[in-house]
Structure formats: C-alpha cells, structure tokens
Amino acid sequence: MTAFLVAAAILVAITLLFLIVPLLRQRAGGAQASRTAINAGIYRDQLAELEGDFASGGLNQADYEESRRELQRRLLEDAGAEGATAAQARPAKRSAWFIGLSLPIAAALIYFVLGNLPALAPESAKPAKVTAQQIEEMVAKLAARMEQNPDNPEGWVMLARSYKAMGRYEEATRAFDKAGKRVDEDPHLLSEYAEALALATGGSLRGRPSELLARALKLDPDFPDALVLAGTAAYEREDYAAAAAYWERLLKQLPPDSEDAKALSDSIGKARAAAGKKSGRAKREK
C-alpha cells in the first residue's frame, strides 16, 4: 500500500507539472476576464433601460424596485456559478495555481470524508461512480466532522465552498465565518464570502458584503473578483464614479482587443455617463 501511495504521489506531481508549466509560461497580458464582468455589463445595460422606463413614467415605483431587485439577484447568481467556464476566465497564472492547489485539496477532501484506506487494496478496486446523493452525504459527513473538530480552518473553507456550490448560501456564510483568520487573510476567500453573504440576504452587496470586498482589495488591490463585485456594489449604491474606477482597474488586466475588454469598456462608459448625469442634477439642485 505504501508503494502505491508513493507512486500515486509521483503521478500527481508529474500531471500537475504538465498542467501548470504551460499556464505559467503564458504572458500576463493574455489574462481573460472573469465571466462575472460580462454578467455585470449585461446587468448594467438592463438597469439603464429600467431606469429610463422609470424616469419616463413607464414604470411605477413598486414595479421599478421589484425589477431592480430581480436584476441584482440574477447577476449575483451568475457571479456565483462555478465550473470550467469560470476557471478558464481567470488569468493564466491564477488558473495554474488554482489547478495546483485544487487537485490535491479535492483528493484530500475525498479521503478526509470517506477515510477508506483499505479501498486502496487491489482486491477492493471497483469502478467508482459518484452521484448527487453521495456528494450530499460526503458534505454532511464533513459538516459532522467539523462540528467535532471546529479548530480546523481549512476544513471550514472546504465546507463553505461545498455549501456555496450547492446553493446553500446561509450555511456557506456560517462556515466561512468559522474559518476565521484563514478567510480574513485571503482576498479570494473574502470575495467568495461576500458573494455568498449577498446571495443569502436577498442579493444586495450593501453593508457587510461591501466591507468584506474592501478588505479583499486592501490585501490585493487588483484582485479581479473583488474588483468586479466592488464595482457592482458601488453601482448599486449609485456611486457610479467609484464603479467605473473599480472596473477600469480590472480593464487594465485584460487583453485590449478581447471581447471581454470591449464589454467592460462599454459598461465603464455607461457608468461614467450615469456619474455625469448625477453630478449635473446635483448642481441644478443647489
């Protein structure tokens, strides 16, 4: 069994080498935007149309508020979607580190939950099929173990991400909170926590989610996910100039001729225009 474990570790290392090295060799300028940026652009287009209808008298106050909340909820649900599309949208170096960390962590999680070393014996080898019900059971077992061993921040992070992927946002926020300093010192985890908290509380980034995003950007002023969400939060509170400023920082990380950069540029232009209109109204009111 020991020989098998050593061989497996070597194979994992070799596999990671072939996956990570080509990604790390890519130029930083080839980074792609987070898919969330595109969703944010679509959201702002729809919000602009909604505000236009409201301003022209086509919508009453109640319908306007309800439609706006629905747009915010859809944006955050899209932002929280995980999978291959989101992984491909990250910059190459971030993708490399994500692959390098997530594969071993995933393997560790499976062992941590199942704890079935005897299954490594050759006579126990059987084709494995993981169903949705089995995933639910694995997460439930992990949650039970964390209650018995609460002083394990990495375990709480795994549990929080599992709940978030399953759409159980309130439970995800509680798990993120229990991870303590592990979350407070990582801009990626702070961004995920803010997103889960917003989804758990009606889709708004006001208040606590915005505080978490501010902390994430203090740790890493150019972290893409935090910039996207911080810009969306600023737009939500009608601080259009701040929203444009956040997205402009993200735009600098994108290839200038990419579709993502064009969409983000269009959103920045609309935010700047909204900021100008707001400033003009304020001047007329004085």
Whole-angstrom Cα distance, residue 46 to residue 72?
10
Which residue in the block uniquely carries the two structure tokens 């909170």? 177
The pLDDT tens digits of the residues spanning 166-192 come to: 889 999 999 999 999 999 999 999 999
For the chain, residues with pLDDT lower than 70 are 1-62, 64-65, 68-69, 71-130, 286
Q: How many domains does the chain have?
A: 1
pLDDT for 277 equals: 87
Q: Is residue 131 part of a domain?
A: no
Q: Is residue 232 part of a domain?
A: yes
Q: Is residue 136 part of a domain?
A: no
Helices 208-219 and 187-200, packing angle to 10 deg: 170
pLDDT for 133 equals: 83
pLDDT for 18 equals: 47
Q: Is residue 281 part of a domain?
A: yes
| Residue among 33, 36, 34 at smallest CA distance from 79 | 36
pLDDT for 30 equals: 39
Q: Is residue 160 part of a domain?
A: no
pLDDT for 185 equals: 94
pLDDT for 233 equals: 92
How much helix, strand and coil, in percent to the nearest 5, is found in the chain? 80, 0, 20
192: containing domain: 31-81+186-286
pLDDT for 269 equals: 92
Q: Is residue 204 part of a domain?
A: yes
DSSP notation for 225-263: HHHHHHHHHHHHTT-HHHHHHHHHHHHTTS-TTSHHHHH
Whole-angstrom Cα distance, residue 99 to residue 23?
10
Q: Is residue 165 part of a domain?
A: no
| Residue among 187, 151, 136, 163 at smallest CA distance from 80 | 163
Taking the whole predicted model, whether its pTM rises above 0.85 is answered as no
Which residue in the block uniquely carries the two structure tokens 């979607």? 81
Q: What is the CATH number of the domain that holds 215?
A: 1.25.40
Q: Is residue 253 part of a domain?
A: yes
What's the distance, CA 275 to chain centroid?
Answer: 27
pLDDT for 86 equals: 42
